[in-house]
């Protein structure tokens, strides 16, 4: 072994040991790769290596395990082959792919029926983000008319997602309980859920911060903590939300006249009909798909931007002329969110 001459060493280097491996073993290795790749390119670069790796890499056993980052096709790389790749993963029974392609079809490709059906396939298998997205769709009657809003269905889906630990769903359910929206009002239970959502979010932030400190770059974004003065890691945006945001920001598709995007930067959902989303009752300049997005954006930046100058002028005039202080109360209530 140690006494190979130069010719033997060269022969050894040119032998393709991959051919010696049984298909089952290669599939096991590719399954591991598809579940842990850090981007679609990481995985796809293996598929273009040779015909055998291409055939085995597209095996349903491999595609069913493709992880969130492997499926994280970006808006600028969207193509028929990207669509086909996600469809193959869906057909292999990958529920993350059902959710991602469902969101893309529902909001970007204007195919709400197929999009909702794909998300439902993931939701049936207890996929928390799919359950939460379907709840937002039910709350807003997205893809239909105002009369298609189904608050009780929205709360039921949201509760299921919250039970599975989805932070946005916990927050949404907390606000629904506090406001009595689609569910009997229960302020203390709503507050309990909001505290739980904040605690989970803080734990995520701390985990991400510690990973960042130890050099493991899992955090993609940093933002200043409003009013706190420090720099904290922000919860990572799900790749599909980033896809939605980039898709519409790129101008690839222009939203129909009068339709607006959710103003929360980490959401990316557009309206599917005019006046679908709730508007900030103070400034009227921002729109949100959900109570959760409104609360997050308020905390992150809108409380610094919300300038109800017209209401302040009206309130000042009312005080000057000895009128009531209704608007001032509205501003204070909003600020207390």
Closest CA to 35 of 77, 92, 81: 92
Between 88 and 301, CB nearer to Zn ion: 301
C-alpha separations of 328 from 149, 174, 224, 241, 310 in Å = 32, 26, 29, 36, 11
Contact status, residue 271 vs residue 277, Cβ threshold 8 Å: yes
CB of 269 to Zn ion, least distance (A): 5
Q: Could you say whether residue 289 binds Zn ion (CB under 5 A)? A: yes
CB of 65 to Zn ion, least distance (A): 30
Where does this chain touch Zn ion (CB under 5 A) — which range of 58-66, 103-111, 200-208, 284-292?
284-292
At what angle are helices 167-179 and 151-163 packed, to 10 degrees? 140
Among 267, 295, 296, 315, binds Zn ion (CB under 5 A): 267
Among 37, 101, 244, 293, binds Zn ion (CB under 5 A): 293
Between 47 and 100, CB nearer to Zn ion: 100
Which 3 state secondary structure label does DSSP give 82? Answer: helix
CB of 326 to Zn ion, least distance (A): 17
How far apart CA 40 and CA 187 sit, in angstroms, is: 44
Q: Could you say whether residue 282 binds Zn ion (CB under 5 A)? A: yes
Q: Which residues partner with 233 through β-bridges?
A: 222
Q: Could you say whether residue 262 binds Zn ion (CB under 5 A)? A: yes
State phi, psi for 302 to the nearest 5 degrees: -65, -25
DSSP at 77: G
CB of 133 to Zn ion, least distance (A): 10
Q: Could you say whether residue 264 binds Zn ion (CB under 5 A)? A: yes
Which 3 state secondary structure label does DSSP give 230? Answer: coil
Q: Could you say whether residue 331 binds Zn ion (CB under 5 A)? A: no
CB of 168 to Zn ion, least distance (A): 9
CB of 204 to Zn ion, least distance (A): 18
Where does this chain touch Zn ion (CB under 5 A) — which range of 138-146, 179-187, 221-229, 291-299?
291-299
Contact status, residue 205 vs residue 189, Cβ threshold 8 Å: no
Where does this chain touch Zn ion (CB under 5 A) — which range of 58-66, 164-172, 240-248, 276-284?
276-284
Q: Could you say whether residue 119 binds Zn ion (CB under 5 A)? A: no
Closest CA to 259 of 246, 269, 245, 247: 269
In the shown chain, the binding pattern of residues 205 to 244 toward Zn ion, with x for contact by CB under 5 A and - for none, equals ----------------------------------------
Where does this chain touch Zn ion (CB under 5 A) — which range of 171-179, 189-197, 263-271, 321-329?
263-271
How far apart CA 116 and CA 98 sit, in angstroms, is: 10
Between 187 and 284, CB nearer to Zn ion: 284
Overall size of the chain counted in residues:
337
* Structure tokens, 42: 């990481």
* Structure tokens, 180: 């009595």
Between 40 and 270, CB nearer to Zn ion: 270
- Residue 198's Cβ-count burial label (10 Å; 0-12, 13-18, 19+) is middle
* Structure tokens, 79: 């193509």
CB of 41 to Zn ion, least distance (A): 29
Q: Give the footprint of Zn ion on this chain (CB under 5 A).
A: 262, 264, 267, 269, 280, 282-283, 289, 293, 306
């Amino acid at each position: 072994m140690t006494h190979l001459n130069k010719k033997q060493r060269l022969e050894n280097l040119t032998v393709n040991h991959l051919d010696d491996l049984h298909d089952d073993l290669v599939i096991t290795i590719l399954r591991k790769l598809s579940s842990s790749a850090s981007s679609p390119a990481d995985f796809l670069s293996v598929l273009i290596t040779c015909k055998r790796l291409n055939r085995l890499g597209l095996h349903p056993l491999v595609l069913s395990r493709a992880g969130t980052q492997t499926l994280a096709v970006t808006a600028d790389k969207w193509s028929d082959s990207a669509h086909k790749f996600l469809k193959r993963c869906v057909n292999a029974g990958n529920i993350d792919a059902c959710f991602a392609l469902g969101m893309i079809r529902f909001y970007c490709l204007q195919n709400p029926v197929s999009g909702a059906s794909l998300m439902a396939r993931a939701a049936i298998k207890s996929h928390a983000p799919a359950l939460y997205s379907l709840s937002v769709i039910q709350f807003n009657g997205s893809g239909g008319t105002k009369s298609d809003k189904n608050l009780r269905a929205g709360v039921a889906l949201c509760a299921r997602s919250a039970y599975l630990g989805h932070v946005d769903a916990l927050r949404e359910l907390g606000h629904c309980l506090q406001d009595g929206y689609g569910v009997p009002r229960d302020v203390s239970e709503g507050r309990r859920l909001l505290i739980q959502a904040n605690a989970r979010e803080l734990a995520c932030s701390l985990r991400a911060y510690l990973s960042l400190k130890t050099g493991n770059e899992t955090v993609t974004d940093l933002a200043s903590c409003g009013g706190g003065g420090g720099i904290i890691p922000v919860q990572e945006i799900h790749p599909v939300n980033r896809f939605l945001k980039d898709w519409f920001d790129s101008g690839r598709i222009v939203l129909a006249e009068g339709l607006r995007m959710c103003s929360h930067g980490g959401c990316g959902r557009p309206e599917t009909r005019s006046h679908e989303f709730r508007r900030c009752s103070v400034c009227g300049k921002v729109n949100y798909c959900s109570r959760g997005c409104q609360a997050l954006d308020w905390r992150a930046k809108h409380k610094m931007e919300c300038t109800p100058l017209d209401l302040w002028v009206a309130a000042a005039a009312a005080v000057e002329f000895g009128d009531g202080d209704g608007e001032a109360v509205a501003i204070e209530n909003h600020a207390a969110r």
